[in-house]
Amino acid sequence: MEKVLFLKGEFVEKIWGGKRLKKDFPYQFESENIGEYWAISAMKDFPSKILNGKYKGENLGFLYKNHKEIFGNEKKEKFPLLIKLIDAGDDLSIQVHPDDDMAKKENSYGKSECWYILNEDEASIIYGLKTDDKNKALKMIDNKKWEELLNVEKSIKGDFFKVPAGMVHAIKKGSLILEIQQASDLTYRLYDYDRVDKNGNKRDLHLEKSKEAIKCLDTEKTHENLEEKMEILYDNEYFTVKK
């Protein structure tokens, strides 16, 4: 039996990144725009590195591919999880992720995720739509009627949100979030506030793919403050979250 393996994650710059990953955690980095810490990742671009034992210096993707026995009964071809800390110094884009069937067209997995809220001060998120009529939603997107379309929820430490593939969503300024998700970085942006990057360029939007991916899922709250509870929070074929 292998001893516990410790991992070193990767910091990822984002146009909306903040400073709380350095302030609230013992992390050191120089950039002023770190938006994400990919803590457990076998993704090609930002893989976690193994810090100890006979696999020291290898990355998690290599270990999963070549020594799957370490991971118990897991049979999936690729490591199925990506776990991040997200620091929103500004609003993230309004976006949606495809399900597995749609993602196959891009040789990827779909992306269902969930959020455990860490921010002590109240913030908010965009969480689904105000309508369950997809045709109506698509017309509102075409006419950029965002306030009429988007459902906004308050969020504070201890809240938990399921974000299945097909749900329109966005993390807003002031949020600090632990995100557990399928191992995919496939995101379709609907709207990005017309902002520009350091080179003066707007980020790409993916309107047609977004509109195809959208599912008008039930916007009934799937969270509550969980500070004193132990239960299964989210269970799908890729991961189970318990608290």
For 121-159, what is each residue's pLDDT tens digit? 999 999 999 999 999 999 999 999 999 999 999 999 999
For 9-67, what is each residue's pLDDT tens digit? 999 999 999 999 999 998 989 888 999 999 999 999 999 999 999 999 999 999 999 99
Domain membership flag for residue 2: no
| Mean pLDDT value of segment 86-96 | 98
Residues in the chain: 243
Burial status of residue 48 (CB atoms within 10 A of its CB: 0-12, 13-18, 19 or more):
buried
pLDDT of residue 91 exceeding 80, the answer is: yes
What six digits make up the tokens of 127? 């969480």
Phi, psi of 237 (to 5 degrees): -70, -15
CATH number reported for the structural domain that contains residue 43 in this entry? 2.60.120.10
Tell me which residue of 49, 83, 54 sits closest to 70, measured CA to CA.
54
Residue 79 domain boundaries: 7-242
Q: Which of 20, 189, 195, 203 is catalytic?
A: 189
SS (H, E, C) 133-153: CHHHHHHHHHCCCHHHHEEEE
Domain membership flag for residue 31: yes
Q: Of 206 and 227, which is predicted with more confidence?
A: 206
Q: Is 195 a catalytic residue?
A: no
- The number of folded domains in the chain is 1
CA distance 122 to 62: 40
Strands (E), 60-129: 81-87, 94-96, 113-117, 123-129
pLDDT score at 227: 60
Tell me which residue of 15, 14, 6, 212 sits closest to 99, measured CA to CA.
212
Q: How high is the mean pLDDT of the chain?
A: 92
* Helix H or strand E segment including 22: helix 20-23
pLDDT score at 223: 58
| Mean pLDDT value of segment 94-116 | 95
CB 119 within 8 A of CB 176: yes
Residue 127 in 3-state DSSP?
strand
Domain membership flag for residue 121: yes
Q: What is the CA radius of gyration of the chain?
A: 18
pLDDT of residue 229 exceeding 70, the answer is: no
Domain membership flag for residue 1: no
Question: Longest Cα pair distance anywhere in the chain, in angstroms?
Answer: 58
CB 158 within 8 A of CB 122: no
Q: Above pLDDT 90, what percent of the chain?
A: 78
pLDDT score at 1: 47
